[in-house]
A and B are shown apart, each in its own frame.
Chain A
């Protein structure tokens, strides 16, 4: 049975060789590749895009790794996953000669620690994890540091992202440790500190956080700057704070899988995405900051100069890029996260 099926698969494969490069399989957050981008690309190049979607990085990683060959061409993992996938030899080394559009990128995002030669990833959209406040409550105007969240007056008021690494990073930073710390003693210290925060937490959420911010279900908490900007458009009182002690910068990057079935089409799409007009359109649509400097320059003033979406260099200096951590450290984070959520 198995052999028969494998043989059948082999007959189908040559057919797909003929169809090569008329199709492109992209695996992404649907918001990142809006419809009009797909239509325009298909119209200009005649290549059909199959857009598959996932709802978190981890699911995407597991699926791609388990399926192996002949699945997707382009993915958009976050920086820490780029790190991991690069080290596990899953990514195609990009030929920079085929990507003239790279000059449009903001040099700040090139040659990061998670991709030192910048040959495996194209930075796409990025963001910062910080604090949001609803200044309808005047007292919240004084919140400027992570440490402030531990204040007893916020009993049962906070909303935190439902992400163990993000919340641990924030606690580590507030203790003065690096955001990607793997030192078990430091992680334990963060765990103990975090335990104290739990009484202040009203809800953990990464998905409904924008509506929570707008509707005032919580008036202070941890959020991404892009989401806070979205919320501020529907509720003028919502503001973003870049904490004094530092913050995590995450970057979502385009990568090409090593065994991608449609590499030429993938290169064409990457060049398409690197165009300033397309980068600008996507950034405008998603409300997240773009890593494409040429595109950023094309944005309307109210967004380009918005300190929440595009903070100044001085502010960004306080940021830590999110990187991958060892499997043991990850297990430790998870173990403590479970303990915290179970009130242990």
Chain B
């Protein structure tokens, strides 16, 4: 039995060591900082105080959180609606071609996202490519004003986050057993029922993984929104960044970050509690 446990011990040691040093320690620093005070010359200083958390009780911060939440939510939905069929179709392909197609999804993303966002600007501008083409074809008579609006921001976010939805779903859909689908069809189920009752539940781990990998980063992304939206509103990412860079109020920034983590953790815990006992819980360990 000892020999058997060797691999398990090795795995756990490696994983715990790394996460302890480079995830737990830094996060602890952040939590500690959130209880410290602000000082003009140093980033943080004693005494310990609860003021930072008190300061979070601010209507504007609530609005900012709400806006970030909504934007991230819409982007996630968009990625899901576009990405699920994408992953599904891709999963049906066999062999080397699939591997190549997967890499072809990623290659554009090895180009700096900033530069690609600027390319999006060139497309969506008033005198940009989209408008030139549509005007030239006579489809519209006045240039569409898409740039610097909410729509442009959503397009930009979906564009930049799509692979993080597609790849997790893909790895899941690949495991789908065709025999189950055939069996359901034989029993008389139509396409929609098969989709709803068999395919979706079986690929749920992938869907949830994709949603997590898109929604969570999207909550704190802000530069895409700034570039394509004209920076006319402040998102959570801007807010926290400003605390660290401009007002140099690290304790407040830390408190915001900790609070964000706490709020989302509570939401996920609530979801897990509600779906306890259901097969879908498997994805959460």
Contact = CB atoms under 8 A, between A and B. Distances in A.
A and B touch in the complex (CB under 8 A): yes
Interface of A: 56, 58-59, 62, 65-66, 88, 162, 164, 201-205, 207-208, 215-217, 326-327, 330-331, 334, 338-339, 341-344
Nearest to B118: A208
10 contacts: A58-B245, A201-B232, A204-B232, A215-B125, A216-B126, A217-B147, A330-B248, A334-B242, A338-B239, A343-B233
Nearest to A204: B231
Contact of A164 (B60, B125, B127, B246): B246
A202 B246 contact: no
B135 to A, nearest CB: 15
A338 B64 contact: yes
B40 A217 contact: no
A216 B118 CA distance: 16
Nearest to A59: B245
Contacts of B147: 217
A341 B148 contact: no
B41 interface: yes
B230 A326 contact: no
A165 to B, nearest CB: 9
Contacts of A59: 245
B285 to A, nearest CB: 30
Contact of A216 (B43, B127, B245): B127
Contact of B234 (A62, A203, A207, A341): A341
A5 to B, nearest CB: 12
B234 A342 contact: yes
B60 A334 contact: no
Contacts of B41: 88
B227 interface: yes
Contacts of B63: 342, 344
Give the bracket for the number of chain B residues in contact with chain A: 20 to 34
Contact of A338 (B60, B118, B245): B60
Contacts of A201: 232
B88 interface: no
A10 B164 CA distance: 43
A316 to B, nearest CB: 28
Contacts of A162: 226, 231
A249 B242 CA distance: 23
A341 B38 CA distance: 24
Nearest to A203: B230
Contacts of A58: 245-246
A217 B125 contact: yes
Interface string B121-165: 100011100000000000000000001100000000000000000
Given A205-B230, A216-B126, A342 B60 contact: yes
Contacts of B67: 342
B64 A342 contact: yes
Nearest to A339: B60
B244 interface: yes
A201 B126 CA distance: 17
Contacts of A56: 245
A326 B233 CA distance: 26
B232 A341 contact: yes
Contact of B148 (A88, A202, A207, A344): A202
Given A326-B40, A334-B246, A334-B247, A217 B60 contact: no
B19 to A, nearest CB: 16
B136 to A, nearest CB: 18
Interface string B244-256: 1111110000000
Contacts of A343: 233
A66 B40 CA distance: 14
B126 A338 contact: no
Contacts of A65: 43
A338 B234 contact: yes
Given A202-B148, A330-B248, A343-B233, 6 more contacts: A62-B244, A62-B248, A201-B232, A217-B125, A327-B247, A330-B247
Contacts of B60: 338-339, 342, 344
Contact of B230 (A202, A216, A342): A202
- Top 7 A-B pairs ranked by shortest CB distance? A203-B230, A58-B245, A204-B231, A327-B40, A341-B234, A203-B148, A334-B247
A208 B148 contact: no
Interface in B29-80: 38, 40-41, 43, 59-60, 63-64, 67
Contacts of A339: 60
A217 B126 contact: yes
A65 B226 CA distance: 27
Contacts of A88: 41
A334 B244 CA distance: 12
Contacts of B148: 202-203, 217
